Structure 1
Amino acid sequence: MSLIGLSYFSRIIILEKNVNLTLKPNTSNDPVRFVSISRAYRPLVTLLGLFAIISFLYSVTTPIFEAPDEKDHFRYINWLADGNEIPHIIEDLAIVGHEIGQPPLYYATVALFVAPIDRSDLETIAEDNPYWRKGAGPNVHYHTGAERFPYKKSTLAVHVARLASIGMGMITIVSTYFIARHLIPKHALWAAAFVAFTPQFAFLSGIINNDNLIITLSSLTLLVLVGIVQIPHFSIWRYLLLGILWGGAILAKLSGIALGGVIVLGLLAVAWKEKSWLRLWAGLPIISIGLLSVSGWWFWRNWNLYGHPLAWEALITANAGLVRAEALSWWKALRVSTYLHQSYWALFGYGIPAPTIFYWFANGIAALAVIGIVIRVWQRKTPQPAIIIIGILTGWLLIMTAALLNWIRQLAATEQGRLIFPAIASITILFVWGLSALPYQQWIKRITLGGLGIWAAVLPLMVIVPAFATPSLLSPSIVVPNSQHVEFGSGIWLRGFEVENRSIESGQSLVIDLYWQAAQPIDESYTVSVHAVDAAGRAVAKLDTIPYNGRFPTPVWPQGQTFRDSYTLPPLAETAVPGQGSIIVKLYPWRQTEKMLPIAIDGNQIGTTLLLTEFKIKPVDDTVYQPSFTTNVTFGNTARLIGYDASSTAANDIIPITLYWESIAADPIDYTVFVHLLDTNGNLVAQADSLPQNGRFPTSIWEAGEIIADEHQFHLPEKLQAGEYAVIIGLYNPQNGARLQAQSDGNRVLNDAVSILSLTIKP
């Protein structure tokens, strides 16, 4: 739906005209004029609808509390919604969380919407994942089916709160539109759409965060300030409104204090424009009245409770874990801030990036915008009123940038693009001002808005949904492959498995599907350890992970329901010995390898390591074998003996024998190679039976056409009597002792055994 709407909106915005929306009193009550105004605003309304859909998409695809600090933001809202007073930063910190030091306006506003909703299950949903910071998957919280639609209780309250944030984002877009009309009236809708289609802004507007309100109030403050600069007469009400908005911004977030800088800058611009200080000195007191009428009580409360109008020391205490031991230098803070470009455009959850190509696209737009700005400045054709507006927008951007850099210097984890979003209206309007100066303006408009809009619409499905996806639960009627009855510890059952490719080379990866089931609730988060072992018994690939790539830890497994989890092991080591390898599985508490869970098969304890199944490691070389003696003896439809190496001279009573087999066709049976020593009467004197390559390369993994060099060490018995002896070889089924039929030149070989060596033992 959002993509269809984008297509429709792109047609509107490309045809956007400079419509004069200056409203005059409608003394004639002319309905035609109302209709014309409605039509003029229709593109903006369409844009708001598209934004609401896209932001809502981010909201419903992001699991609750998987946005930065969202849980603590909601805990503050919940506290107020329960009828409590503004929390004490120190005394109520453990209950409300570290966002407790924030001013209360955003939380009080959203609390009005969630107060009627039952939130009694808040402490039992989306529980904290204690292993997240240690690398146990992307989930900061454990998520269960209780969060799925239709939403209930606290989950419903969270989504209602997110809807309130979307409303704030819509006001920011409208404010950007009307600010832009003062500077670039033909491209105001372009600027508004630029804000709406910035993926990070759409994401932020779809979650719970007080940044949403400070962004809205900052944009409204800029709108009123630009209006004051533009009007030729002094308006007490405009100045009073400016102070009220400034006070509201401070009550939304302390960074709202920085608006004082751009307000002063705007009033100085008015004084310069009119060559008079009257409006500056008359306006400042009125602005102060508006400011203090809204936020004065907040400063007074902080002073009484904490001895500081901003409660600074208490605020630092609440965020002690983020305070740097030593403030960064400005230069180092600037270097750290290079990360901001990514988080400005798109960085979801706790560090989930968009595809790299998106950042190339977005940064390309920014580069073009900067080029356009340079062209406009170089041309010096901008009229004075526009220069003043550009100065205000640029000044606010610089003020916010300096404030953010100073914040980065003092606190860790603050290099986040959303923290500069109070200036997003300034950024986008300046960008569009620059882009509109370039050639092929219409094409640039199509590409920037079409591209950003499509990216904004698809990123929730392309990035967020896969990042938090959980496995589908299997119906009881589904037959699990390779059914197992293996229990790890108490209550964790392995019901089956499947291996995607059982024959691979070194450098390739095994993909193994395990079918898990919890017989009872599991309190601890366990790591699944899957290892591939080569024919020599050495681990050549291993993967230790929380189930479903960290997205489905054992504490959230639904009782009695089976699911499939796929494990892609790293490529096999280049040193892996060819032959039959093994896949083993173990479970242990996260990062506690010394506490491997005991394993039972059908109730019988087997230790702590499960030999799941075997696989084949194929030789990677193309060795051409040159047997000393060639033969052409077939053994059933399984193998052909094409030659052998043997010596009639024993060294230390050991005769080395190498048999060269060619596989005729795959055979699931593991045949044993017998090497027998017979006397002249055909009596068995000695034998050395084993699987090919001493078990490393059994016949069940042979592939048609494959050549296998099979080495045997035949030990002569002690005190062997003098006489003539023969060494014979063949293949038999160890399950029943039946030998594979041996044929040479179409004739069956006697006893299905091939004589390969004659020995003379002297007295």
Structure 2
Amino acid sequence: MGKKLVTAQVSKQQVVTILLISLFVFYTVAAVLISIVVPLGGSPDEPAHFMFVQYVAQNGRLPVMQPRYTDNATVEAFQAPAYYVLAALVTRPFMEGDIVLFRNPAFTFGTQSPMFLPLEEQRFPWHGVYCAWHLARFFSITLGWITLGATYCSARLVFKNHWLALAATAYIAMNPQFIYLNSMVTNDVLAATAGSLLTLAAFNLLDNSSLKNVVLIALTIGLAALTKPSTLTILPGIGWAFFIAWRKTPSTRARWVSLGLIMGIPLACSGWWFLRNQQLYGDFLGLAAAKQALSSNYYAAPLTLGQLLDILPQMARQTFQTYWGYFGWIAFPLSDIAYFVILFLNLLALIGLLWRSKFLRRNVQALVLGTMWLGMMFGFLYYNLETNSSGWQGRFLFPGLSVTAIGFIAGWSTWLRRREVLIGSLVMSLGLLLSVYAMLGVVMPAYLPPSPVPMEAVSNTGDTKFAGDLVLVGYELQSERVKPGDNVQLTLYWSVQKLTETPYLFRVDGYTVHGDSIVRQTESNLARRFPSIVWPANQVLADRYTLRVSETYSQVVCSLGLQVIEGYEEPHSIFFNDSGGNPIGERLELGPLIISGNSQLRGGTDINAQFGTDEILLTGYDINPAIIKAGTPLTVTLAWRAQQQPTANYQVFVHLFDDKGQLVAQHDGSPKMGLYPTSAWSARENIIDLHVIQIPETVAGTLHPCVGLYALETLERLPVTWNNSTDCPDQSVPLAAFTVKQ
């Protein structure tokens, strides 16, 4: 029996080991793919981080931060040097030549566009400095292995369970932003690694307060200090762990030795760096020069508490999004649904932690974790008292990745007690879905060039030519009939007849005949993500839009229009041409978009008059007011119902006759003041149609309204099935008479 139990335990551990290896393999493959696909410079400040690496590799010394931005070899020169020195050692043999980056002329912050576009010399096989850049990216990926390994070991010490440790590791390994960031050149990668090693060292010290573990934690503090100041924000938890271990040390001599080691080793490792900063910049962190050179990233004066509270919701939103997945230079987000699910799961974990707070207060490891997390959050908020929205980035919280992951799993352990295998399986499965979606649904479409479309697949072909060599070869609208608030997909098919140096932007909107905005102006993602200056000649590219229909308007027809904007610095619209090459206009009408709906007449009088061959019914009406003063407007509201979709655009007439049968006033026009012509009506749709008629000042007595439909081209009225009446001319329906007073 005992032998079977041991065999089962070994088997479970083997399963966890296989899954853990699979986790590392998945992370590595995903990160390598991203590092290859995303152009160099594809994350915030990556060019400046690599220039720091390049400077160290080529000069054998650290750069000095200059107060003026343009005087710097790299604007990251004030940063702690550990990451850059290590990356320089890896890349130095390949650091030949100068860097040339191609900035995307269509890039602006807040748009879904890459900041840099790939150059031919940056393509595989890589050579010289570009090979060095990719090697530095691969170095970042290997640091991610250490982060994941340290997290697994920390979670094993906390939970004493392989499955929960696996779940904590998966929480990080399948975080899309972690994968993306670890495929770039940035010191935030080593900051995450140092933070995870500090967390592991703290738990090792709690488990065994030997001098060996004191030395290890002291060395890790030194590494953290030389990596990034934000890593030191978890030191309160480290200090708490050391204090607990220090009190358990039985020997007074060992206590003093460990105290000397925990203070002396970090100072010996990193003290020179702080003294250098003091000598060069006048402060230990070197932030004085950074604030001068990067003044646009800082407030003129630190925020007050009230100001911080005002921006806190916006700060929390952007920080959360960039913690989980906001790629490029904060350009390509996950979907709102993805953010919501992630937030929901984390809130449930937090509630679970609070539910167990009474137990956790007696748990030393939980107190250390909580102190680390609070220190990290207070450090982040303090940093953002001086830094504007450029500091609202989740990567600045990555030193606490292990802390957050362990806390998440501990919270879920409250809800799923003794369900360790289920927790591990759920985190792995959901993490896999999230990371695959982020890779294939966001990152790859954002950076891979679009595939050419075969001409036979293009709908509504027309070859509309614009000034220059730009041609709209066709378009496709997902549906011509939508409802208020819907999203509708539009695809434009573009081509350039030869390589162009002109960058274009494309904007689509939709207006009614009265100028009401139905589809707000929507800009092309293709033109910013893959600008026209890099389009191949004579190939068709698909430009896809998601158009948002206004919720305000119902039962209207809008005209979708296209504008082509030339240039980015001084943008202006360009004309489209006729077949002879003559300019026609700046807004190309693509076609109608029908916003349908159903309207009901409240009150009024029921009626049942059929027009045409069972096409249109008049089902009711209302006349307001019933007694009216001469010289004032009368409103006649008609309730129509389309039995089937009308085949033509009919005009509505409302004529007013006196007792002698003389026409005294009228209103003729398309339904709903021209906003919703009858050809746009759908079968079984109910339409409310208002007609305002000015009553002449000379009229008095009883007036008899009559309603009908006619074709504008021929003025021929539609036949109507209705009770015979002498009150109205042929092919019209009488409504209730009303009185006009002088």
Secondary structure class of the residue paired with 1:513:
strand
Q: Say which is worse superposed, 497-506 or 398-407, in terms of deviation.
A: 497-506
Q: 2:578, 2:301 → 1: CA distance?
A: 56
Secondary structure class of the residue paired with 2:226:
helix
Residue type matched to 2:358 in 1? V
Q: Say which is worse superposed, 153-162 or 557-566, in terms of deviation.
A: 153-162
Shift of 1:356: 0.7
Q: Is the 8 A contact 1:529 1:587 kept in 2?
A: no
Residue type matched to 2:340 in 1? T
Q: Is 1:423 paired with 2:397?
A: no
Instruction: Please give the per-residue CA displacement for 1:347-366, whole angstroms capped at 9, x wherever unaligned.
Output: 33227253312221122123
Partner of 1:105: 82
Residue type matched to 1:73 in 2? H
Partner of 2:356: 372
Structure 1 residues 530-569: aligned runs within 5 Å? 530-534=509-513, 536=514, 538-548=516-526, 551-569=529-547
Partner of 1:400: 376
Q: Is 1:138 paired with 2:115?
A: no
Partner of 1:322: 297
* Larger Rg, first or second structure (1 or 2): 1
Q: 2:202, 2:683 → 1: CA distance?
A: 82
Q: Is the 8 A contact 1:344 1:417 kept in 2?
A: yes
- Structure-1-length-normalised TM-score: 0.69
Q: Is 1:53 paired with 2:21?
A: no
Partner of 2:468: 490
Shift of 1:311: 2.1
Partner of 2:50: 74
Q: 2:22, 2:326 → 1: CA distance?
A: 22
Change (3 A) 1:305 1:668: same
Q: Is the 8 A contact 2:230 2:396 kept in 1?
A: no
Q: 1:107, 1:125 → 2: CA distance?
A: 24
Match of 1:165 among 132, 140, 147: 140
Shift of 1:129: 4.9
Secondary structure class of the residue paired with 1:100:
coil
Q: 2:322, 2:518 → 1: CA distance?
A: 42
Instruction: Please give the per-residue CA displacement for 1:195-253, whole angstroms capped at 9, x wherever unaligned.
Output: 34232544443443312212322333444455456546645xx5554443322222211
Partner of 1:278: 253
Q: Say which is worse superposed, 389-398 or 329-338, in terms of deviation.
A: 329-338
Change (3 A) 1:125 1:485: same
Q: Is the 8 A contact 1:168 1:216 kept in 2?
A: yes
Match of 1:521 among 485, 490, 500: 500
Structure 1 residues 558-707: aligned runs within 5 Å? 558-572=536-550, 574=552, 578=556, 581-588=558-565, 595-602=572-579, 603-616=581-594, 620-621=598-599
Change (3 A) 1:402 1:501: closer
Q: 2:683, 2:14 → 1: CA distance?
A: 74
Give the number of equivalent residue pairs.
Answer: 660
Q: 1:246, 1:533 → 2: CA distance?
A: 65
Q: 1:107, 1:77 → 2: CA distance?
A: 5
Shift of 1:482: 2.1
Q: Is 1:187 paired with 2:165?
A: no
Q: 1:710, 1:256 → 2: CA distance?
A: 68
Shift of 1:458: 2.0
Q: Is the 8 A contact 1:197 1:449 kept in 2?
A: no
Change (3 A) 1:151 1:223: same
Change (3 A) 1:442 1:340: farther
Q: Is the 8 A contact 2:489 2:544 kept in 1?
A: yes
Residue type matched to 1:367 in 2? I
Residue type matched to 1:543 in 2? Q
Partner of 2:628: none
Shift of 1:260: 6.2
Change (3 A) 1:274 1:239: closer
Change (3 A) 1:612 1:425: closer
Instruction: Please give the per-residue CA displacement for 1:636-655, whole angstroms capped at 9, x wherever unaligned.
Output: x999999xxxxxxxxxxxxx
Shift of 1:189: 5.6
Structure 2: segments with no counterpart, 5+ residues: 620-637, 653-667, 694-708, 722-729, 733-742
Change (3 A) 1:318 1:370: farther
Change (3 A) 1:671 1:146: farther
Structure 1 residues 96-245: aligned runs within 5 Å? 96-115=73-92, 122-125=99-102, 127=104, 129-132=106-109, 135=110, 137-143=111-117, 152=126, 159-184=134-159, 186-187=160-161, 190-191=164-165, 193-198=167-172, 199=175, 200-224=177-201, 226-228=203-205, 230-231=207-208, 234-235=211-212, 239-245=214-220
Shift of 1:70: 3.2
Instruction: Please give the per-residue CA displacement for 1:525-575, whole angstroms capped at 9, x wherever unaligned.
Output: 5241322334x5654433231334964444554443222223343325755
Q: Is the 8 A contact 2:512 2:675 kept in 1?
A: no
Match of 1:311 among 281, 286, 302: 286
Secondary structure class of the residue paired with 2:490:
strand
Shift of 1:139: 2.5
Partner of 2:345: 361
Q: 1:695, 1:116 → 2: CA distance?
A: 73
Shift of 1:49: 4.0
Shift of 1:583: 2.7
Change (3 A) 1:533 1:261: closer
Q: 1:594, 1:442 → 2: CA distance?
A: 62
Change (3 A) 1:40 1:489: same
Q: 1:183, 1:589 → 2: CA distance?
A: 60
Shift of 1:627: 13
